[in-house]
């Protein structure tokens, strides 16, 4: 068996060159990772109405996901499943997602008047969705879990509208 006891020093030979290589390699890797993250994470501007429409669809898709999660949670919480602490986190997360997608869409420059109108329409739906989820979160924090299905009811028509904007209508 070639080898030595675990943990004992292996052959020496670490030089400044190796240390400098390590620093350079780390810097290159770090730079590469940062460039990849930046390229993947940036919100790009919309150059055409079609591009803007795609961004609206993405926003609607994310908002639909948050709203559907909140609806599932409202029904389950009212049925006595889970704990109030858990449902609170679910609603806070859904509210956070809605706030985040609203802010992202608002930051994109609409390229023409049609896009302006589309933004106004979608924004209204997003505001209403955020209001529903907010009311669910407040009721859960107050321990009023029985009222959740009633509070979630206004979400039903919003789901259909968001599905249309997201291009996912059945």
Residues lying near another protein in the complex (CB under 8 A): 1-14, 18, 21-22, 25-26, 29-30, 32-33, 36-37, 39-41, 58, 61-62, 64-65, 68-69, 72-73, 76, 80-86, 88-90, 92-93, 97, 163, 166-168
105 neighbors 138 (Cβ within 8 angstroms): no
Kind and range of the H or E element at 46?
none
Complex with another protein: residue 9 or 113, whichever CB lies closer: 9
Tokens standing for residue 41: 């994470």
131 neighbors 63 (Cβ within 8 angstroms): no
Closest CA to 105 of 127, 132, 133, 136: 127
Complex with another protein: residue 97 or 102, whichever CB lies closer: 97
Separation between Cα atoms, residue 140 and residue 138, nearest integer Å:
5
Q: State the minimum distance, in angstroms, from the CB of residue 112 to another protein.
A: 23
Q: State the minimum distance, in angstroms, from the CB of residue 19 to another protein.
A: 9
Complex with another protein: residue 23 or 124, whichever CB lies closer: 23
C-alpha distance from residue 24 to each of 14, 34, 81 (Å): 15, 15, 54
Complex with another protein: residue 37 or 138, whichever CB lies closer: 37
Q: State the minimum distance, in angstroms, from the CB of residue 145 to another protein.
A: 12
Q: State the minimum distance, in angstroms, from the CB of residue 113 to another protein.
A: 27
Separation between Cα atoms, residue 116 and residue 109, nearest integer Å:
9
Residues 6+ apart with CB under 8 A from 145: 77, 78, 80, 84, 87, 139
Complex with another protein: residue 82 or 120, whichever CB lies closer: 82
């Amino acid at each position: 068996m070639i080898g030595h006891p675990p943990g004992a020093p292996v052959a020496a030979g670490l030089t400044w060159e190796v240390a400098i290589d390590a620093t350079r390699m780390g810097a290159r890797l770090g730079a590469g990772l940062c460039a990849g993250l930046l390229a993947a994470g940036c919100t790009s501007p919309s150059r055409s109405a079609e591009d803007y429409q795609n961004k609206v669809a993405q926003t609607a898709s994310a908002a639909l996901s948050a709203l559907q999660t909140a609806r599932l949670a409202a029904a389950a919480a009212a049925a006595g499943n889970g704990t109030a602490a858990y449902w609170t986190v679910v609603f806070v997360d859904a509210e956070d997602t809605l706030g985040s997608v609203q802010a992202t869409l608002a930051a994109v420059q609409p390229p023409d008047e049609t896009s302006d109108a589309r933004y106004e329409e979608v924004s209204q739906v997003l505001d209403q969705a955020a209001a529903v989820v907010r009311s669910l979160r407040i009721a859960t924090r107050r321990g009023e879990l029985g009222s959740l299905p009633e509070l979630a009811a206004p979400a039903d028509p919003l789901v259909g509208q968001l599905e249309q904007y997201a291009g996912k209508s059945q």
